[in-house]
Structure 1
Amino acid sequence: MYDEAMSSRPHVSLAQRKRQLVSDELTQAALQLLAQKGFDAVTIDEIATAAGVSKRTFFRYFASKEDVVVQFLADMGNDIRAELAARPTKERPSVALQHAIAVPLAACADHSDRALPVVQLILRTPALYARFLERQAQWRDDLSAELVARLDLDADTDLYPRMAAGMALNAFDAALQRWSGSDGTEDPAALIDRAFAVIAPALNAWRGGKSAGLAAPPG
């Protein structure tokens, strides 16, 4: 996936690619160790050793163990916004948001052997869960801004973008919590379907039903 991303951005310099590779190595090593041993049991020295770099190099990229996890969450939020931005503009809000929210959950399910321990670590470690909630607040702002743009709304006066983003992220959180609690046995896609079945009518009723003119969901 990294090579694919780089090939679509030819302007990225060799130095930037190297920096990204080191950052990715540190992130993978840290998340694996944290998930295996628990947050408090892992030292920065261990993370650096596992990634094949010095402790000094670690601090060039991250200020703390928490920051490694925060970067993981930031990447997840960026993926959600990018997916929403890529959806057809005439698509119903509920459909566009469901697709956007489903992408990171599908990625977790596809790599559950690695993703599930990390998700459980975040949800079960108070300090990390607090950072997760902080990132979700940023995700809500980002999704609100995207909805303002795609629906041509007024960010200062219209309540819909923030409320819709909040509902979508609550659905995401409910599905993530359920998937984590089931130790990965439940299907995230099915959980998202169930969550959006509850909130879709409200998402599609913006501006007193104006969304009726938008395209119906496929199928």
Structure 2
Amino acid sequence: MPWRAPRYHRAVTTRPESTLAQRKRQLVATELTEAALQLFALKGFDAATVDEIATTAGVSKRTFFRYFASKEDVVVQFLAGMGADMRADLAARPAGERPSEALLHAVSVPLAACGDHAERVLPVVRLILRTPSLLARFLEHQAAWREELAEELGARLGRDPETDLRPRLAAGMALTAFDAVLRRWSAGEDAVATAAPEALIGEAFAVLAPALDGTDLPER
């Protein structure tokens, strides 16, 4: 089966590609991303070179650097859409829904995409978790996602994350579960034999739900 880049490889911008030049630029970015992820999966992140990525994509090394500042940035594109999707899904949940249910749906969005395309996504997830420089970038993203989810959850609960502990604590618990599920799912050599990410996150939230939905924190 030919390689196809996983869902979360898109560019940071989500504006419609309305002109021929924009569509061409997006096509080149996609080709570079697919070539890079294929080489990373086959050779490892450190062994694959920018020259090899450019050659595989059929462009020059100079063209690569018009789109990406480094090899790391290619993988960061994989992560870029996750936080936005989680926040958007949280914002779309019914207003009266329990925090545990709303947050479960939100963090399940990228995990469902991973499970639906396990053959293609799993090598990238393993690459991120097992490469120190990429793991550092992943953790940076998670920190940003925590702030975004805390802000959205604070708006839902009528609580200011700057003065109230609960939104940030709840967002942190949800993302800790997200991280734990990715690590568990990617740890085994046989993805088919491992429970799907959606099932694992359900198990995690069954543990977290009492804390997420319990008595409010006391006022200070």
Pairwise same-fold verdict (TM > 0.5): yes
Q: Which residue of 1 aligns with 2:165?
A: 159
Moved more, 9-18 or 166-175: 9-18
Q: Is the 8 A contact 1:144 1:161 kept in 2?
A: yes
Determine if the alignment matches structure 1 residue 78 to structure 2 residue 81. Answer: no
Q: Which residue of 2 aligns with 1:173?
A: 179
What residue ranges of structure 1 are gaps of 5+ in the alignment?
210-219
CA deviation after TM superposition for structure 1 residue 195, in Å: 0.4
CA deviation after TM superposition for structure 1 residue 11, in Å: 5.5
TM-score (norm 1): 0.86
- Counterparts of 1:175-194 in structure 2, within 5 Å, are 175-183=181-189, 184=191, 185-194=194-203
Cα pair distance change 1:76/1:10, threshold 3 Å: closer
Q: Is the 8 A contact 1:32 1:118 kept in 2?
A: no
Cα pair distance change 1:129/1:206, threshold 3 Å: farther
Mapped to 2, the partners of 1:28 and 1:39 lie a distance apart of 14
Mapped to 1, the partners of 2:142 and 2:215 lie a distance apart of 23
Q: Is the 8 A contact 1:160 1:206 kept in 2?
A: no
Q: Which residue of 2 aligns with 1:217?
A: none
Aligned residue among 174, 192, 204 for 1:195: 204
Cα pair distance change 1:170/1:57, threshold 3 Å: same
Mapped to 1, the partners of 2:182 and 2:176 lie a distance apart of 10
Q: Identity, % of aligned pairs?
A: 68
Q: Secondary structure at the match of 1:109?
A: helix
Letter in 2 for 1:207: D
Letter in 1 for 2:211: A
Q: Is the 8 A contact 2:115 2:198 kept in 1?
A: no
CA deviation after TM superposition for structure 1 residue 118, in Å: 0.5
CA deviation after TM superposition for structure 1 residue 56, in Å: 1.3
CA deviation after TM superposition for structure 1 residue 87, in Å: 1.5
Q: Which residue of 1 aligns with 2:214?
A: 205
- Counterparts of 1:101-120 in structure 2, within 5 Å, are 101-120=107-126
Letter in 1 for 2:199: A
Mapped to 1, the partners of 2:156 and 2:23 lie a distance apart of 32
What residue ranges of structure 2 are gaps of 5+ in the alignment?
1-5
Aligned residue among 88, 94, 97 for 2:100: 94
Determine if the alignment matches structure 1 residue 131 to structure 2 residue 140. Answer: no
